[in-house]
């Protein structure tokens, strides 16, 4: 039987059901922003190569170059709360896996900083970068992908307590990754492939937003976005099934009939993704809502995978609760105010993008020399 560190003697600060709900909700917000970031950086790098030769590619590059630093900021900010909830609920497993892969885990910080600088360089100094612009965009994208890979390693390693002792016995270097885990690659790809689909949906909405400025460019952007969304979502369904069958049999069984609720959540998530594919051409807004609901259900399924994998060694439902309602109410209030502020800033950013384009001189392309 795996040996777990002792739980926090202070107990959980709120009922476990409430903590789980907040964990799933905040992680959904983080993943939506992360998806726009990952897929958006890939589109940024692709459009960077043709920005001076193709007016539509240049316009798409300008839109993305302005949006992605903000998107990365949102991704990081929205990732704080779900990471805290993981530490509160599954801290005994999370801290152990983080120690085993200490140096790669700490590498997340410089990788994020490097990606951030690259995105800002693409926004403010594209002409100064010159022929290196495409390379800088790809380096930022690779740094972000590397961060996701390190997170996937930690999330899978914390679900393998039976391997902790053997990993530790091989050395205390803190350089251990969970490469041998069969679920690591499909888990990682499940998040990355889905990101390209959500980013494609974002490009469709972006094209519609600026449709009055240049209808032809908006139509091309919408076509590009639909292609990305439909292709990535179709591949995502296949990768998701791969991930499902890469899980240990005792975990997988809950999602293929043993638990009606778990099976229904997984099925509904897949169904919503397919519905979004059928709606994206005529109603991209409704497709976005269906996609958001699908992501929420998949996050809930992911949470259940974690809980089932660690049971009975870490029965989180049995952890002592020492509710701190004052702090919890303060947290929820700050969360709501913060989300309201984020929504206002995003709306202001979207509104400001159209005038910025209209301010260009007649005949001047937004991606021209500055």
Split into its structural domains, the chain has a count of 2
Q: Are 288 and 313 in contact (CB under 8 A)?
A: no
Do 341 and 233 share a structural domain? no
Do 225 and 179 share a structural domain? yes
pLDDT at residue number 5: 80
Predicted TM-score (pTM) of this structure: 0.89
Do 52 and 24 share a structural domain? yes
Nearest CA to 353 among 254, 206, 160? 206
pLDDT at residue number 366: 46
Q: Can you tell me the distance from the alpha carbon of 75 to that of 342, in angstroms, rounded to the nearest whole number? A: 11
Q: For residue 58, is it within any domain?
A: yes
| Residue finishing a domain among 278, 301, 321 | 321
Do 261 and 339 share a structural domain? no
Q: Can you tell me the distance from the alpha carbon of 44 to that of 119, in angstroms, rounded to the nearest whole number? A: 9
Do 187 and 335 share a structural domain? no
Q: For residue 365, is it within any domain?
A: no
Q: For residue 284, is it within any domain?
A: yes
Q: Are 222 and 287 in contact (CB under 8 A)?
A: no
pLDDT at residue number 211: 66
Residue ranges making up the domain that contains 193: 16-164+174-321
Do 342 and 250 share a structural domain? no
For 86, other C-beta atoms within 10 Å of its C-beta total 19
Under 8 Å CB-to-CB from 287, ≥6 apart: which residues? Answer: 201, 229, 276, 277, 279, 280
Low-confidence ranges of the chain (pLDDT < 50): 355-370
Please identify which residue in the block is written with the tokens 């590059």. 61
Q: 321: helix, coil or strand?
A: strand
Do 341 and 295 share a structural domain? no
Q: Can you tell me the distance from the alpha carbon of 54 to that of 48, in angstroms, rounded to the nearest whole number? A: 10
pLDDT at residue number 368: 45
Q: For residue 43, is it within any domain?
A: yes
pLDDT at residue number 353: 63
Q: Can you tell me the distance from the alpha carbon of 222 to that of 245, in angstroms, rounded to the nearest whole number? A: 35
pLDDT at residue number 2: 63
pLDDT at residue number 163: 87
């Amino acid at each position: 039987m795996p040996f777990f560190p002792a739980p926090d003697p202070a107990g959980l600060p709120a009922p476990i059901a409430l903590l789980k709900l907040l964990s799933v909700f905040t992680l959904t917000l983080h993943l939506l922003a992360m998806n726009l970031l990952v897929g958006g950086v890939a589109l940024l790098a692709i459009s960077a190569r043709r920005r001076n030769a193709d007016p539509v590619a240049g316009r798409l590059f300008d839109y993305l170059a302005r949006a992605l630093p903000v998107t990365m900021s949102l991704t990081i900010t929205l990732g704080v709360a779900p990471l805290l909830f993981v530490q509160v609920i599954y801290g005994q497993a999370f801290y152990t896996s983080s120690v085993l892969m200490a140096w790669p885990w700490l590498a997340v910080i410089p990788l994020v900083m490097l990606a951030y600088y690259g995105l800002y360089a693409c926004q403010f100094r594209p002409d100064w970068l010159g022929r290196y612009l495409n390379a800088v965009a790809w380096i930022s994208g690779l740094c972000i992908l590397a961060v996701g890979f390190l997170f996937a390693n930690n999330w899978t390693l914390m679900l393998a307590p039976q391997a902790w002792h053997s990993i530790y016995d091989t050395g205390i270097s803190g350089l251990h990754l969970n490469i041998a885990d069969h679920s690591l690659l499909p888990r990682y790809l499940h998040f990355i492939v889905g990101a390209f689909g959500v980013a494609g949906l974002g490009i469709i909405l972006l094209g519609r937003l600026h449709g009055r400025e240049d209808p032809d460019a908006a139509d091309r952007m919408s076509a590009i976005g639909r292609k990305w969304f439909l292709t990535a979502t179709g591949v995502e369904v296949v990768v998701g099934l791969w991930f499902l069958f890469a899980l240990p049999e005792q975990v997988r069984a809950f999602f293929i009939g043993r638990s009606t609720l778990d099976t229904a959540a997984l099925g509904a998530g897949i169904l919503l993704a397919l519905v979004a594919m059928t709606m994206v051409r005529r109603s991209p807004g409704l497709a976005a809502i269906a996609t958001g609901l699908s992501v929420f259900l998949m996050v809930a399924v992911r949470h259940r995978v974690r809980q089932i994998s660690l049971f009975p060694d870490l029965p989180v439902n049995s952890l002592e609760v020492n509710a701190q309602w004052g702090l919890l109410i303060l947290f929820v209030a700050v969360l709501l105010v913060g989300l309201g502020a984020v929504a206002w800033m995003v709306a202001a950013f979207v509104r400001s993008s159209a005038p910025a384009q209209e301010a260009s001189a007649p005949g001047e392309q937004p991606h021209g020399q500055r």
